[in-house]
Amino acid sequence: MNARILFLSLILAACTASPEATEIADPTVPTPDFVLTADQTHNKFSSAIPAVVRVPSGSVIEAFTEEASDGQLLADASLEDVVNLDFEPIHPLTGPVYVEGAEPGDILKVTLHEIELGEFGWTAIVPGFGFLAEEFPDPYIKTFEFQDGDVTADFGDGIRVPLKPFPGVMGVAPATDEMLSTIPPRANGGNMDDPNMVEGTTVYFPVFVEGALFSIGDTHAAQGLGEVCGTAIEAPMRIVYEVEVIKGASHIQEPQYETEEYYAVTAFAETIDEAAKKATRYMIDHLEATRGMSRSDAYALLSLAGDLKIAEVVDVPHMLVTMHLSKAVFDS
């Protein structure tokens, strides 16, 4: 029985267990209209990958995700497993989902209603990969086990890492039928590895192909801003999300997102410096388009209250930077 089946079986067992073991459903989480299992995956971004399901705008989807290695690294992973890691299966993404009515130029709005961590995770230093790859030539692995209600991961030696589960990859299909690697993030989103995209976040994607073709995966139980060693706590999860097509919206060039507290833009580039410049421009564009601010007023306001944040520095060749602006600065 492989890990994904084990995980799914345990989830299903939990759902059908005796009444006293059944969790009371969170009333704020809508009931899923569609369920995608953790073996309904692909591992490239391309307009040529057929959808696994076709859904109306407004649908709620429950998606099970595999961890990033697609079962190569499990709860008992060894250093040898890290040395032998094949990058080709990375990252298995659950989807794509064809959203009816979505056309190029539209925006796909994705709301992360619920993110539930699976039962294990791993963190590795993979030789040749990571922000300081030349200084860390040796393989490294640490595995974790999780139980319901855990709020930290046991790193050992009295160190406990707060759990903040989120999907490292969310993206729509690009406007090409080439089979693109899922390692770098691009304008279609993808491997953004932004630890701020947690439960409760709404993400907006520019749509490049009919149906949008949305996929999700590479779920992370915990990750710092940067993901410096190249991996987070890579762990399977269950995610309930909602998709909605926004027609005739002003175009955005790369994904943007928001919570009740802030609005954020994302920007990728081959250097952090260039990504930071793009993010600053995107937020100025946003303030000009949505609030009618002059570009100079927007630029000055962002100097006082806009926060440039590094998301990841390891998904070569693309770094991802975001800019956040608190909604509290506006009266309405």
Residue nearer to a copy of itself on the CB measure, 69 or 280: 280
Residue nearer to a copy of itself on the CB measure, 147 or 332: 332
Q: Does 262 bind a copy of itself (CB under 8 A)?
A: no
Taking alpha carbons only, the member of 164, 162, 156, 237 closest to residue 197 is 164
Determine the Cα–Cα distance for residues 232 and 74; give it in Å rounded to an integer.
Answer: 14
Stretch in the footprint of a copy of itself (CB under 8 A) among 23-31, 96-104, 182-190, 308-316 = 308-316
Binding test (CB under 8 A) with a copy of itself, winner from 160, 247, 251, 327 = 160
Q: Per-residue b/e over 236-253, b at no fewer than 16 CB within 10 Å?
A: bbbbbbbbbbeeeeeebe
93-99 and 53-55 as β-strands: parallel, antiparallel, unpaired?
A: parallel
Site for a copy of itself in 219-238 (CB under 8 A): 222-233
Written as six digits, the tokens of 28 are 């704020």
Q: How far is the CB of 317 from a copy of itself (least distance, A)?
A: 12
- At position 40, the amino acid (one-letter code) is Q
Q: Does 185 bind a copy of itself (CB under 8 A)?
A: no
Total of residues contacting a copy of itself (CB under 8 A)? 63
Site for a copy of itself in 95-114 (CB under 8 A): none
Instruction: Render 251-279 in DSSP notation, one character per residue.
Output: P-SS-EEE-SSEEEEEEEESSHHHHHHHH
Binding test (CB under 8 A) with a copy of itself, winner from 276, 282, 315, 318 = 276
Whether the bond between 317 and the residue before it is cis, its omega within 30 degrees of 0, is yes
Q: Does 326 bind a copy of itself (CB under 8 A)?
A: yes
Q: Does 75 bind a copy of itself (CB under 8 A)?
A: no
Q: Does 161 bind a copy of itself (CB under 8 A)?
A: yes
Q: Does 133 bind a copy of itself (CB under 8 A)?
A: no
Q: Does 131 bind a copy of itself (CB under 8 A)?
A: yes
Residue nearer to a copy of itself on the CB measure, 107 or 284: 284
Residue nearer to a copy of itself on the CB measure, 102 or 115: 115
Specify which residues 153 forms β-bridges with: 161
140-145 and 262-269 as β-strands: parallel, antiparallel, unpaired?
A: unpaired
Determine the Cα–Cα distance for residues 229 and 55; give it in Å rounded to an integer.
Answer: 38
Residue nearer to a copy of itself on the CB measure, 74 or 228: 228
Determine the Cα–Cα distance for residues 264 and 282; give it in Å rounded to an integer.
Answer: 9
Residue nearer to a copy of itself on the CB measure, 34 or 131: 131
Taking alpha carbons only, the member of 52, 39, 42 closest to residue 92 is 42
Q: Does 183 bind a copy of itself (CB under 8 A)?
A: no
Residue 264 C-alpha from the chain's centroid: 15
- The CB-side HSE value for 250 (13 A sphere, CA atoms) comes to 9
Residue nearer to a copy of itself on the CB measure, 51 or 272: 272
Q: Does 11 bind a copy of itself (CB under 8 A)?
A: no
Q: How far is the CB of 92 from a copy of itself (least distance, A)?
A: 21
Specify which residues 240 forms β-bridges with: 62, 114
Determine the Cα–Cα distance for residues 267 and 255; give it in Å rounded to an integer.
Answer: 8
Written as six digits, the tokens of 326 are 């608190």
Q: Does 51 bind a copy of itself (CB under 8 A)?
A: no
Judged by the rule CB under 8 A, the positions of this chain that interact with a copy of itself are 123, 125, 130-132, 135-136, 138, 140, 142, 153, 155, 157-162, 222-233, 271-273, 276-277, 280-281, 293, 295-297, 299-310, 313, 319, 321, 323, 326, 328-332
